Chain A
Amino acid sequence: MVGGRLGSRLLVHAILIVGIAVMLTPIWLAFVVSTRPGSDFMTGDFPLWPGPDFVKNYRTALIDGQPGAGLQPVGHMLWNSLVMALVIAAGKIAISFISAFAIAWFRFPFRVAAFWIIFITLMLPVEVRILPTFAVTASLGLLNSYAGLTIPIIASATATFLFRQVFMTIPDELTEAARIDGAGPLRFLVDMVVPLSRTNVAALFIILFIYGWNQYLWPLLVTTEPGYETVVMGIQRLAQSASEGSPYWHLVMTTAILAMLPPIAIVLSMRKLFVRGLVETEK
């Protein structure tokens, strides 16, 4: 669709710019709030441009904390979130990669049953089955551990399903060739399947990292020691006191911006791979 008259081209740009402005307004305003003193937002006009407190607020959030607002320095929380997100993403990819491989390239007893057991978990979120899942996790002694934070969330079929879709597109000729060369299934997995799925793994990694990073209710339930607090939990606690009238909106938004940065950075830096991975996964 190159070409088109100048007027219509300008119109397209104009609509896009308005669209982007609308999409980014919440993030921009959050940033504005994070650069100003909290008292600016209790009353009066709402400023639309950053204020003088950028360094002060981010320092408070990252290093000093604000005990009065129940805010620990967020550095440690960011670390917990990072560990949780990485373990969830890597764990899910690892176990679903090999299980999808088994389902795609083997015929064995109970194959369909196994697939369905995994498949039903596709959509039911943790919130819906939270009490029994908690009971199971607790009886395994996994409360207050990274294992308890992550393993129950790893139980989902999205990744298995997507990998199976990808594997179905790998031509049978490759498998034939591998077999003729005398390569066993594991050899084939490592030499052929892994390299061919690299972009899909990248796309999925981003999706799962964000999914893991954004967990809230589950971490709140399985951790009782402040040492395991994640950043989304920290914000919720802060927002609770802010919505009751304490002047902490600036810290809520500072922490929110900090919490958004890692996933945004990952999405942006891996965007090319991500889009390519999506196109292929989807085909």
Chain B
Amino acid sequence: MKTMAAALALGLASGPALAATEVQWWHAMSGDLGQKLEKIAADFNASQSDYKIVPVFKGTYPEAMTGAIAAFRAKQQPAIVQVFEVGTATMMAAKGAVYPVYELMRDEKVEFDPKAYLPTITGYYSDTKGNMLSFPFNSSTPILYYNKDMFRKAGLDPDKAPKTWEDVAEDAKKLRASGAACGFTTNWPSWVQVENLSTLHNVPIGTEENGLGGMSAKMTIANALVERHWANLAEWQKDKTFDYGGRTDKANPKFLSGECGIQMQSSGSRGGIIANAKFDVGFGMLPVYADVKGAPQNSIIGGATLWVLKGRPAAEYKGVAQFFNYLSKPDVQSWWHQNTGYLPITKAAYEQTKASGYYDKNAGSSVAVEEINLNPPTENSKGLRFGNFAQIRDVIEEEMENVLTAKKTAKQGLEDAQRRANEMLRQFEKTNS
């Protein structure tokens, strides 16, 4: 009896002490990337015994974000949620719901130096005073991929990526002439063919420093540059010099199947493309129009960051702070960067990767980092932040589809997109101020 009681007491005493505090991390990474994300969580869990990060796949980016918001409203939110960059304005506006990362790190007294991070990345996720609000996890920028085998067949130089839109059109037409079903295609139409197009040409997308300055920003995409570009795309679509492949990542199979010789796609897909392409892949920066002065300026990022939600038990936040600290380590960052193609978020990780000779050994691995750091960012190329931007992107892509199918002229499509986008911005402003 006595021993039993003792054993029981022991069990009661030791039970809770052994159990690690679980911290839920909702994310939207499927496939290879999901597996790599899970490895990072598992490595962190193995590195200490107080906290256990539990990654939970919650569908696509919008599904993960809305799932977390719905959960917050029902007081069932996770501590960490991965939110894509277009959700930034919504998260920032929710002051009572998010726990800004800089405050968290200060409260938990975990070492945290914002200057250790690459400014082109953190600028996107900081408030006007330069405080980091969310933790950059997977950041990428669009680059150009091309099929060297198809280039050879078309009589093009396989070691020369097209640099200007004029080059792209010319190469694509030669690809078509050599029997390819399409010249080039693009993924993420708005991100690549409007947003990055604009920053690379140092043209504003909206007022108030592309919305970073405040919620009263208006979009200004109905401008000469974008109109010229969309008109070109519509023209090229006619003879399949360009072939539209759909929104998000949907065009990727067109490139992998050897249908299109060139595509624009996130640098984050580099690993997957190399693994799945049955041909020699070439890499280059996004093209620019040769006659625009100051181009190429620099590209901007996409991808997602980790937001911390309020309302969880205090112990979990200690775990979150430890986890973010772990994520910033150069070894972890270099591994993630080299294995996925996402950008390194700290300078140390970049230097470490460079010193290891990785960039020299792996063709195309440095294109994204170089493209984003081409020049010191200007007001027009620091980043962008608009409310309701997930929907606005849909609007831009819908109107682009209308232009490509010749339902509207480029001018008409852009004016409609701009008007509809501005209505949504005003709606957001009304709702959140």
Contacts and interface: CB of A to CB of B under 8 A. Distances in A.
Direct contact of A and B (CB under 8 A): yes
Interface string A237-256: 11011011111100000000
A42 B248 CA distance: 19
B71 A244 contact: no
Interface in B175-209: none
Interface in A148-207: none
Contacts of A39: 278
Nearest to B258: A43
Interface string B272-300: 11001010000000000000000000000
B244 to A, nearest CB: 16
A221 interface: yes
A70 B76 contact: no
B250 interface: yes
Chain A binding surface, main DSSP class:
helix
Given A42-B256, A68-B32, A135-B73, A240 B60 contact: yes
A269 interface: no
B376 interface: no
A135 B258 CA distance: 47
Size class of the B contact interface (CB-based, 8 Å): 35 or more
A138 B71 contact: yes
B276 A42 contact: yes
A246 B278 contact: no
Contact of A67 (B26, B35, B58, B255): B35
A246 B76 contact: no
Contacts of B19: none
Nearest to B68: A224
Interface residues of A, number: 30
Given A70-B34, A138-B76, A237 B276 contact: no
Contact of B57 (A134, A237, A243, A248): A237
Given A224-B24, A243-B249, A237 B30 contact: yes
A139 interface: yes
B148 to A, nearest CB: 16
Interface string A124-161: 00000001001101110001000000000000000000
A62 to B, nearest CB: 19
Contact of B273 (A67, A135, A245): A245
A138 B75 contact: yes
A2 to B, nearest CB: 52
B405 to A, nearest CB: 22
B73 A243 contact: no
Contacts of A243: 249-250, 253
Nearest 4 interchain pairs by C-beta:
A138-B74, A241-B31, A245-B252, A244-B249
Interface of A: 39, 42-43, 67-70, 131, 134-135, 137-139, 143, 220-221, 224-226, 236-238, 240-241, 243-248
Given A70-B30, A243-B250, A245-B252, 14 more contacts: A43-B258, A131-B70, A134-B70, A134-B74, A135-B74, A138-B70, A138-B76, A143-B76, A237-B30, A238-B30, A241-B31, A244-B249, A245-B269, A248-B31
Interface of B: 24, 26, 30-32, 34-35, 56-60, 63, 67, 70-71, 73-76, 78, 248-250, 252-253, 255-258, 269, 272-273, 276, 278
